[in-house]
Structure 1
Amino acid sequence: MTKATQVTKTGDFGKRKSYIKRYWQLYALLSLPIAYFLIFRYGPMYGVQIAFKDFNLFQGINGSEWIGLEAFREVFAMNDFYITLRNTFMLNFLDLLVSFPAPIILAIMLYEIRNAWFKKISQTLLYIPHFISWVIIGGIVYQLFGTQSGMVNAVLQALGMDAIPFLTDKNSWLITYLFTGVWQSAGWGTILYLAALTGVNKELFEAADVDGASRMKKIWHITLPSIKPTIITLLILNLGKMVSIGFDRPYIIGNTAVREYSDVLSTFVYRIGLEAGQYTLATVVGLFQAVVGLVFILGSNYISKKVTGDGIL
């Protein structure tokens, strides 16, 4: 190494050290999310080996006996596993069809509103459901849509109409499940799209006005293309979650009458893991979800790049 090279490296190190010293507050803030991911995301990966062991709670991970792929064979031989896998795919796919476009439409509608106070009130009302616990939402759903005591059915019966089994008929339950999800998540999902819309060049709309374009044409030819990268990114991330599903929503809104649809992988893991104490089988299902989710993300990203030229990787 030449003397000139040593001087250059010493100078670069000094500059980096000075930069870190100057902006140490930013690095301190960055340490919090890094610590979060290390502890709660990367740390638990150590426990993945439970899927390949006959896990004993008292012996711990290291003391448990290796069994290889035996637990995988046991899980893949279960009929309940395939039923819950089918339900997970079905609910996530229907959620994608119903819930994914909702925040896009809402964001465009809010963006088009010119009355500032009405826009702020609307945004606040739309954001609120996101902060309500699914336990509370479940109580609201049962109070509104219960067959015997629900408010909606009470009104229908008062009008001389038959009660609708919103929560006991599997098809009616499916509709209730989907639109409850839209109500809970659509408002919060508009935040990213509204942020993307703030970057749209206003001169494009002015030029469209000069050309006599209608509001719908401006939305179709200017607004939507401007937020296309955001839409594609969120779509790819949602496709990556096709085999994963939250526990709260299907467990709280579901019941034994609609178990044919409401029993999903997360409730399956809860039953075999926490209730039955079969931690190895529960870990196998979790690892399966993670691997398939990764395949979906990479596959959807590859297809998106080939078709639209945009992706996340």
Structure 2
Amino acid sequence: MLRIMEKALTALPIRKEKSYWSRLGARIVKHRAMYVLALPGVLFFILFKLTPLWGLLLAFKDYNPYSGFAGSEWVGFKHFADLFADRNFYIMLRNTFAINVFGLVFMFPLPILLALMLNEVRHGAFKRFNQSIVYLPHFLSWVVVASMTFFVLSTDVGIVNKLIGEAGHEPISFLSESKYFWGLITAQTMWKEAGWGTIIFLAAMAGVDPQRYEAAVVDGASRFRQIWHITLPAIRPTILILLILRLGQMADVGFEQMLLMMNPLVMQVAEVFDTYAYTQGILRGQISTGVTVGMFKGVVGFVLVMTSNYIVKKSGQEGIY
């Protein structure tokens, strides 16, 4: 009996385990529609995100257009040493972080507050109308925003200064006095981007279970109590994730906005890393210096994201990973 079973088992065909690449190919064929849909996004990141990373090597080379990328001389950390030794480095660092701190304090909470207000509007048509109004400034270019600022605040044709003059006071140089510059940049950003920033928070609020509000009404909770104890805790993970990502942009200031708003009279408070990289890299042809500034900003952003995410995770909340 045992011999018969042994012969039967040996007669069975031995099934070879498929290799990793065979299994991968089978999965691709099986889910080919999903891979085709993902292909444009993958190509985008390869071409515009991964491939340009080779350009970071220019921060460690003395780039010469005639010698090319490969033929330029290696200089190590020379450009970083020159950047840190530049007398304007700490001025740029102060201006960049000051503008971002202003934005973090005044700009970041504004979309949350605006989203809470829009979420309380019960009339559908009126709510959609208000959403359209607050979204509209986002689609205006910074050139348009800068022009509107000039026509509102300039000493010659500005509406505000005309009203100040009608009141018997001297016009105020909002655009050429350093003490107004950071506040002016923050106010522009708030007006342009606050409405657009409400989209994510409104989407998070839409996911809150309506039964929780109904139970709160039965318990006699006011609208403010419902917001404080239901809505805000429900969107807390979204707020923390966006806060972490925002902290990662602390070394980054909108280049186009700064370039349009700066002038020689406010240069001491307007010079930031973005404009410095443009001046050195494009106008003066020092490509390696511009790449060095960009790499420094990236490292600072990475450290801030990792640190803030670690703190959030240690506090028992969800981070970005």
Q: Deviations over 1:4-53 (max 9, x none)?
A: 562798996686245324xx1x4323212221111111111101111111
1:85-234 matches, within 5 Å, as: 85-234=93-242
Per the alignment, residue 6 of structure 1 pairs with: 17
| Distance (Å, rounded) in 1 between the aligned partners of 2:215 and 2:19 | 52
The structure 2 residue matched to 1:20, chosen from 11, 17, 31, is 31
Q: Which residue matches 1:30?
A: 38
Secondary structure of the 2:102 match is: helix
- Greater displacement, 157-166 / 104-113: 157-166
Q: 1:13 to 1:167 in 2, by over 3 A?
A: closer
User: Deviations along 1:114-170, whole A, 9 cap, x unmatched?
Assistant: 111111111111111111110111111101111222111112212323322221222
User: Following the alignment from structure 2 to structure 1, what is the Cα–Cα distance between the partners of residues 294 and 270?
Assistant: 18
In 2, Cα distance between equivalents of 1:143 and 1:111: 34
Task: Work out the CA distance in 2 between the residues paired with 1:149 and 1:122.
Answer: 30
Deviation at 1:251, TM superposition (A): 1.4
Whether contact under 8 Å (1:51, 1:280) holds in the other structure is yes
1:46 to 36, 39, 54: 54
Moved more, 156-165 or 261-270: 156-165
Measure, in 2, the Cα distance between the counterparts of 1:70 and 1:274.
Answer: 19
Cα gap change, 1:274 to 1:214, in 2 (>3 Å): same
Return the alpha-carbon distance in structure 1 between the equivalents of residues 52 and 19 of structure 2. Answer: 42
Secondary structure of the corresponding residue to residue 63 of structure 2: strand
Q: Quick one: distance in 2 between partners of 1:5 and 1:201? A: 52
Larger Rg: 2
Query: What does the per-residue CA deviation read over 1:236-264, in whole Å, with 9 as the maximum and x for residues that have no partner?
Result: 00001111222011111222211121111
Cα distance in 1 for partners of 2:299, 2:277 equals 16
Question: Contact 1:145/1:151 (CA < 8 Å) preserved in 2?
Answer: yes
Task: Tell me the equivalent position of 1:237.
Answer: 245
Contact 1:146–1:153 (CA<8 Å) still a contact in 2? Answer: yes
Gaps of at least 5 residues in structure 2 are: 1-12
**How many Å separate the matches in 1 of 2:95 and 2:116?**
32
Aligned 8 A contact 1:126 1:188 in 2? yes
CA distance in 2, matches of 1:196, 1:206: 18
Contact 1:173–1:258 (8 Å) recurs in 2: yes
Structure 1 gap ranges (5+): none
Counterpart contact for 1:55–1:279, Cα < 8 Å: yes
TM-score of the two chains, using structure 2 as the length reference: 0.91
- Residue 81 of structure 2 is matched in structure 1 by 73
TM-score (norm 1): 0.93
**2:9 matched residue in structure 1:** none
How many residues are matched?
Answer: 309
Aligned partner letter, 1:6 = E
Amino acid at match of 1:248: E
Deviation string 1:216-248 (CA, Å, 9 cap, x unpaired) is 111111000000010000000000111122201
Moved over 4 A (4+): 2-5, 7-15
Aligned-partner residue type, residue 190 of structure 2: V
Percent identity reads: 40
> Contact 1:81–1:268 (CA<8 Å) still a contact in 2?
no
RMSD: 2.0
**One-letter code aligned to 2:102:** L
Tell me the equivalent position of 2:7.
none
Q: State the one-letter code of the partner of 1:226.
A: A
What secondary structure, in the 3-state scheme, does the structure 1 residue paired with 2:197 have? helix
The alignment status of 1:265 with 2:273, answered yes or no, reads: yes
* Aligned match of 2:320: 312
> Could you say if the C-alpha distance between residues 212 and 4 of structure 1 is closer, same or farther in structure 2, counting changes exceeding 3 Å?
farther
Helix, strand or coil for the counterpart of 2:88? helix
CA distance in 1, matches of 2:316, 2:187: 30
